Amino acid sequence: FDYLRDNMVIYKEDMVQRELNYAIIDEVDSILIDEARTPLIISGVGEKSTDMYKLADRFVRTLKKDEDYVVDEKAKAVSLTEKGVAKAEKFFGIKNLADIENMEISHHIQQALKAHAIMKRDRDYVVKDGQVIIVDEFTGRLMFGRRYSEGLHQAIEAKEGVKVERESKTLATITLQNYFRMYKKLAGMTGTAQTEEQEFR
């Protein structure tokens, strides 16, 4: 995160990180392979109202699985059927959900559907002290301070009936893999390197 913050400063003297010469990574297979594409994000609070998340949540609760929407568990995707689209157009008072001016409504419906049909409480996230906290899929640890992006976190908050925080906007982002590529020399250790031998090569 120091690297991301350094990219946001105006004056060079405000930068805190040293040159990226050498890094030793513990559990290197987890960092460079399992979580290689995991983005590290610094975000700020957006300005949009949270009302649409609650409205989309109310709508999605009226839908029936397989009749109004279909779920692809493997791809972690969910989509409205023709019947579901017709219900959405009636609920939101619009003529065509696919029209470009209805893109925001469509996006909120999509995230609300994902929150209800794909994201499972006590597997993907927990609710603690009125907050939705992400569960790390690799370690099972609670990831305090982390939030799902693109409105999914807010959709889950609406689903769980906790306070819906305003959507954050990304100020800076980088994946772990791209960050460690910037080091001149890299070393790592792990007890399970052999199973990922080809990837390391």
Average pLDDT for 70-77: 90
User: Cα 77 to chain center, whole Å?
Assistant: 14
Q: Which domains does the chain have, with CATH numbers?
A: 1-45+171-199 (no CATH), 50-120+150-166 (3.90.1440.10)
| pTM for this predicted structure | 0.64
Q: Is the CB of residue 97 less than 8 Å from the CB of residue 88?
A: yes
How does DSSP assign 137-193, residue by residue?
TTT--EETT---STTHHHHHHHHHTS--PPPEEEEEEEEHHHHHHTSSEEEEE-S--
pLDDT category at 80 given cuts 50, 70, 90 is very high
Tell me the per-residue pLDDT of 154-164, one tens digit each, with 9 for 90 and over: 999 999 999 99
Q: Which residues, 6+ apart, have CB-to-CB distance to 41 below 8 Å?
A: 149, 170, 172, 173
Tell me the per-residue pLDDT of 171-182, one tens digit each, with 9 for 90 and over: 667 777 777 777
Q: Under DSSP, is residue 35 helix (H, G, I), strand (E, B) or coil?
A: coil
Tell me the per-residue pLDDT of 120-173, one tens digit each, with 9 for 90 and over: 999 999 999 999 999 998 889 999 988 888 899 999 999 999 999 876 666 667
Q: Residue 45 and residue 34: Cα distance in Å, rounded?
A: 29
Q: Is the pLDDT of residue 89 over 80?
A: yes
Tell me the per-residue pLDDT of 1-53, one tens digit each, with 9 for 90 and over: 665 666 666 667 776 676 777 778 777 776 766 666 777 766 665 556 689 99
- Residue with the bigger pLDDT between 132 and 198: it is 132
pLDDT at 187: 74
Q: Is the pLDDT of residue 201 over 60?
A: no
